Amino acid sequence: MRVVYALWLRQVKKYFRSRSRIVGSLGQPLLFLLAFGYGFGNVYQRAGEGSYIQFLAPGIIMMSVLFTAVFSGIELIWDRQFGFLKETLAAPVSRLEIMLGRTLGGATVASIQGLIVFVLTGVFGFRVDNLAMLILAAVFVFISALLFTGMGTAIASVMEDMQGFQLIMNFLVMPIFFLSGALYPVEGLPPAMAIITKVNPLTYGVDGLRSTLTNQPAAFGIGLDLSLMVVITALILGIGTYLFSKIQV
């Protein structure tokens, strides 16, 4: 477990040492809150749905978690190119411990990023309706962070370099976000889009977080959201661990 802790600590320290990374990663969430929150706020309110910021903020928090988590996993490619991964794998420890340490570190960093965005949403008028549910909200955030860090690691385990990075962004990460219900309600969607939304794991993270923070009824039920997130996370981590164990350096 000492190796797990060391790799977890390395990820966290690396995050806090890079102030430009912290500030830079806040640009997109703040832009979405400003442009969408105020741009569509009046339309949403006229439709009789209340405050759009209250609806939007949990989705933006999850967006920040998604991007940070996936990128934390993909940092594995940089470690491979600069030789750090080779040194780590040469150590007399199991690859499972290495994978666990990296994943927990990436998930912690993504959760911290989500917390920072959560605090900033208050500037835009977002308010938590049920403080008693904050712990459950944190559980949704951390499980989502674990899931997408594991996904990033699985992807990075089969990539040789960063040339496919843009492909991942355009055909995986962005669709996962935009088709998760983060920006719009998942009820009443066209059949094809409804199916895509339901097979998207982020949908259940957004739904659960929105329900716990705003007291709105969960579209799928909090119990189902949490159960599916746990099962999908375990599956993704299993796949990521297998692919990581097959890395050749």
Q: Considering the entire predicted model, what is its pTM?
A: 0.92
pLDDT at 49: 66
pLDDT at 249: 61
- pLDDT tens readout for residues 221-247: 999 999 999 999 999 999 999 988 887
pLDDT at 89: 73
pLDDT at 87: 73
Q: Is the pLDDT of residue 48 over 70?
A: no
CB 109 within 8 A of CB 52: no
Q: Among 30, 31, 51, which residue's Cα sits nearest to residue 41?
A: 51
pLDDT at 109: 94
Q: Which amino acid, residue 141?
A: V
- pLDDT tens readout for residues 155-196: 888 887 777 776 777 788 999 999 999 999 898 889 999 999
Find all residues with CB under 8 Å of 85, minimum gap 6, and list them. Answer: 76, 79, 247, 249
- pLDDT tens readout for residues 14-44: 877 777 777 778 888 999 998 888 887 777 7
Q: DSSP readout, 14-38?
A: HHHH-HHHHHHHHHHHHHHHHHHHH
Spatial distance between the Cα atoms of 131 and 97, rounded to a whole number of angstroms = 36
Q: How confident is the model at residue 114 (pLDDT cuts 50, 70, 90)?
A: very high
pLDDT at 131: 87
Q: How confident is the model at residue 218 (pLDDT cuts 50, 70, 90)?
A: very high
Q: How confident is the model at residue 47 (pLDDT cuts 50, 70, 90)?
A: low
Domain boundary assignment for the chain: 2-245
Instruction: Select the more confidently predicted residue: 81 or 146.
Output: 146
Query: Which ranges of 91-200 would DSSP assign to H, the alpha helix?
Result: 95-121, 134-157, 165-168, 174-178, 191-198
End-to-end CA, the chain = 24
Helix, strand counts (H, E) of the chain:
12, 0
